[in-house]
Amino acid sequence: MSLRRVLTPQKFLLICAVFLVVILTVLIADATYNCNSGENATNKLLLQKYSDQIQKLKSDQITLAHKLKEAEQQIAASGQRKSSAWISGLPIIYLITPTYSRLEQKAELTRLSHTLLLVRNIHWIVVEDSDTKTDLVSRLLKQTELNYTHLNVLTPLEFKLNTEDPNWLKPRGVLQRNAGLEWLRSNTSPQKQPGVVYFADDDNTYSLKLFDEMRYTKKVSVWPVGLVGYLRYERPIVENKKVTGWFTYWKPNRPFPMDMAGFAINLQLIHDHPDVGFTNSVQRGYQETTLLTGLKISQYDLEPRANMCTEVLVWHTRT
């Protein structure tokens, strides 16, 4: 039988078609395989990338957890600032602050408390001119975390300023400062813990350096006060490291013509003279003189500080 009779054109075309289908199927399968291989490679790269990112996130999470723990420890430590700010053996500065109810009271006590938070070994004695301890001052003192004592004593009406009176007409804070002095005599011992006493009004502004200047006072240390007595400042005049006079405008012939903010006293002197204090019976501007003469202090005893009384470190910034 001849090949022509067996392999008809129709059969030949059918075989060619089948062959082409097989070839096409193989090519498609190969192409599909190659595509799948490419997709797999791409997927592998993506998976590796995501895996790396997950590992980085885990590492960041661990780092953040450590930082959070450190922050919590710092917050806990700041909550214990009372003890952490206390240095054993360092003389204590006792600040006696008279205060009275008024619109600016909270603002001024807050400002002063923020200053005191930056000073080591501070004990703040806040004395209200009131027949009771007010909630406002009680809450404020508790929130400061400072070492403090809260007292109160009411000034009799005859010694209080009327609304229309100038602020210099009658002395303020007399009984309150005396209450602070009495607390010190009853609750401190200079032999066990040396200290210094400073009368810090709540409406003044204080440089931190001032507290370093006063801390090691032997008897009475002195320095200039800014914005007081109709002048830019008042100050002791110093020659050869001794106070020889006063730069002041009002009554310069007073024994101690200086402001309440311009001196600090060694705690021992307060104990040595248990009956000495302030009084409402003296004329204007003589409260400082009354106290210092009662403590048997002379001008020669004064210890000039603040670079021999040439730097102003406290200001009257009465609102």
Q: Is 301 part of any known ligand binding site?
A: no
Residues 319, 108: contact at Cβ < 8 Å?
yes
Q: Name the helix (H) or strand (E) containing 70.
A: helix 9-78
Q: Is 201 part of any known ligand binding site?
A: yes
Burial of 280 from C-beta contacts in 10 A (0-12 / 13-18 / 19+):
middle
Q: Is 32 part of any known ligand binding site?
A: no
Q: Is 100 part of any known ligand binding site?
A: yes
Q: Is 198 part of any known ligand binding site?
A: no
Four-residue CA torsion sign, 197, 202, 203, 204? positive
Residues 219, 285: contact at Cβ < 8 Å?
no
Reported residue count of the chain is 319
- List, in sequence order, every residue forming a beta bridge with 225; answer none if it has no partner: 234
Q: Is 217 part of any known ligand binding site?
A: no
Q: Is 52 part of any known ligand binding site?
A: no
Q: Among 101, 104, 157, which residue's Cα sits nearest to residue 126?
A: 101
Q: Among 233, 250, 277, which residue's Cα sits nearest to residue 168?
A: 250
Q: Is 110 part of any known ligand binding site?
A: no
Distance, in Å, from the CA atom of 188 to the CA atom of 193, rounded to the nearest integer, reads 8
Q: Is 212 part of any known ligand binding site?
A: no
Distance, in Å, from the CA atom of 104 to the CA atom of 48, rounded to the nearest integer, reads 64
Q: How far is CA 122 from the centre of its chain?
A: 13
Catalytic residue among 128, 213, 234, 288: 288
288 catalytic? Reply is: yes
Strands ordered across the beta sheet of 231-239: 204-206, 314-316, 225-228, 231-239, 242-247
Place of tokens 């780092």: 63
Q: Is 99 part of any known ligand binding site?
A: yes
Residues 126, 141: contact at Cβ < 8 Å?
yes
- Residues comprising the binding site for Mn(2+)? 203
Annotated binding site: 98-100, 129, 172, 177, 201-203, 316-318
Query: Residues with catalytic annotation?
Result: 288
User: What residues form the annotated binding site for UDP-alpha-D-glucuronate?
Assistant: 98-100, 129, 172, 177, 201-203, 316-318
